[in-house]
């Protein structure tokens, strides 16, 4: 994809900078003048060569008379943007963004074609500055246009699709993928290479399943979801009972329901319910290596960061944020908008809006005070040892005084 300068400014809802417009006009005029001069030189060379060589020699001379010039950064910028990048790695056809005024030096050093910046960003030499509100948000809305799409919809010859499966318009199924019986895949969804969709699965419109995703029987996926490579939806929950001599498996007969616009990271697992359903509600974002156990209910717009885990039958309210390596015990209620700090161990319910941290998880301020006190323990022990020595010396002096008083 190529996004030209005018299109970019239109997407940002800003007018093209005057400096950029003038520069573009100047460069265009210079290029035209150079082309005219090159053409004149070429014609003169051709006429001179015609008296000394054959027609073939004349053409060769003419071809060599005007060597091609390398494109400048400005010319690449005018021709369009072909990608987005960081300030440090960007090239002339890349678009970048900067949020803070203290990034001015990094922006000036960047080779980017243009940088989206806030309205109060300093005026500097370097890439073209596109001033707008919310530069980060604007940048990533444009970056979405550069996300690779399947070259063409269709079913790869090596894919196995059951005849009873219903495929919507423009569905793409990659190499070695398997689609089971009575499955429904919505329009424009993409099933990546090696993915397995078992029987009676429903997938909504505009979903993307990357390579080697597994969705097991009877599960449901809403619209516009993204499942990254290696994640497994609908595996058996971890259910066993001790019968006196061995652990006996409890049949896992429920399913998983994932609502619209859910994103699930690489190698994360969402277990099917023992009975009923495990549900991931609309807009939730799940990082890599996250475990969601059976019969959990993850609320809308929840964030679950990598290596966190939610045990069976717990409920997370809308907007909860769970940081990395958090463990949430079973049958707990985490209130809406709660924040759970990294590596916390949650063993009891968390009220709505609370921020907790530590193991066992407790209010953040309390935990920080406890940790601050804990950090002072070495110095406190040293002080106590000094006090103990002083106390022993005082006891010795007191004993000697008592003995001296007893003497006749």
Q: Across-strand partners of 203?
A: 185, 221
The DSSP letter of residue 266 is T
Q: Say if residue 87 is exposed, middle or buried (CB neighbours under 10 Å; 0-12, 13-18, 19+).
A: buried
- The residues that are catalytic are 294
What count of other Cβ atoms lies within 10 Å of the Cβ of residue 172?
Answer: 22
| Exposure class string for 340-357: b at 16+ Cβ within 10 A, else e | bbebbebeeebeeebbbb
Q: Say if residue 398 is exposed, middle or buried (CB neighbours under 10 Å; 0-12, 13-18, 19+).
A: exposed
Q: Across-strand partners of 264?
A: 227, 286
Residue for token digits 């490579």?
Answer: 229
User: Distances in Å between the alpha carbon of 179 and those of 167, 276, 367?
Assistant: 10, 24, 50
Among the residues of 66-189, which ranges form H helices? 73-79, 104-109, 135-143
What count of other Cβ atoms lies within 10 Å of the Cβ of residue 163?
Answer: 5
Token pair of 346 as six digits:
């949650």
């Amino acid at each position: 994809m190529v996004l030209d300068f005018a299109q970019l400014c239109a997407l940002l809802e800003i007018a093209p900078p005057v400096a950029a417009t003038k520069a573009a006009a100047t460069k265009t005029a210079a290029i035209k003048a150079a082309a005219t001069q090159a053409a004149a030189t070429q014609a003169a060379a051709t006429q001179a060569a015609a008296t000394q060589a054959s027609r073939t020699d004349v053409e060769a001379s003419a071809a060599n008379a005007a060597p091609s010039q390398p494109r400048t950064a400005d010319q690449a910028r005018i021709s369009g943007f072909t990608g987005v990048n960081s300030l440090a790695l960007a090239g002339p056809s890349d678009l970048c963004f900067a949020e803070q005024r203290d990034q001015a030096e990094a922006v000036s050093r960047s080779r980017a074609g243009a940088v989206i910046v806030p309205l109060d960003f300093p005026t500097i030499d370097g890439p073209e500055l596109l001033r707008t509100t919310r530069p980060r948000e604007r940048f990533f809305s444009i970056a979405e246009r550069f996300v690779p799409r399947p070259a063409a919809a269709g079913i790869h010859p090596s894919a196995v699709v059951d005849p009873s499966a219903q495929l919507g318009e423009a569905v793409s199924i990659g190499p070695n993928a398997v689609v089971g019986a009575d499955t429904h895949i919505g329009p424009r969804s993409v099933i990546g290479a090696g993915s397995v969709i078992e029987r009676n699965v429903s997938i909504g419109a505009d979903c993307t399943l990357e390579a080697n995703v597994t969705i097991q029987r009877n599960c449901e996926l809403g619209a516009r979801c993204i499942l990254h490579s290696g994640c497994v939806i609908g595996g058996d929950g971890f259910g066993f009972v001790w019968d006196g001599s061995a652990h006996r498996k409890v049949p896992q007969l429920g399913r998983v329901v994932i609502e619209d616009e859910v994103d699930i990271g690489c190698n994360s697992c969402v277990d099917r319910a023992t009975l009923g359903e495990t549900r991931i509600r609309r807009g939730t974002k799940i990082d890599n290596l996250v475990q969601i156990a059976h019969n959990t209910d993850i609320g809308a717009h929840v964030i679950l960061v990598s290596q966190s885990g939610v045990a069976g039958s717990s409920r997370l309210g809308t907007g909860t944020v769970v940081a990395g390596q958090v463990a949430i015990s079973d049958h707990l209620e985490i209130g809406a908008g709660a924040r759970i700090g990294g590596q916390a161990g949650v063993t009891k319910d968390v009220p709505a809006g609370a921020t907790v941290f530590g193991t066992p998880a407790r209010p953040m301020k309390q935990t920080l005070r406890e940790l601050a006190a804990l950090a002072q323990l070495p110095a406190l022990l040293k002080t106590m040892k000094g006090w103990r020595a002083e106390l022993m010396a005082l006891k010795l002096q007191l004993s000697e005084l008592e003995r001296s008083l007893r003497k006749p």
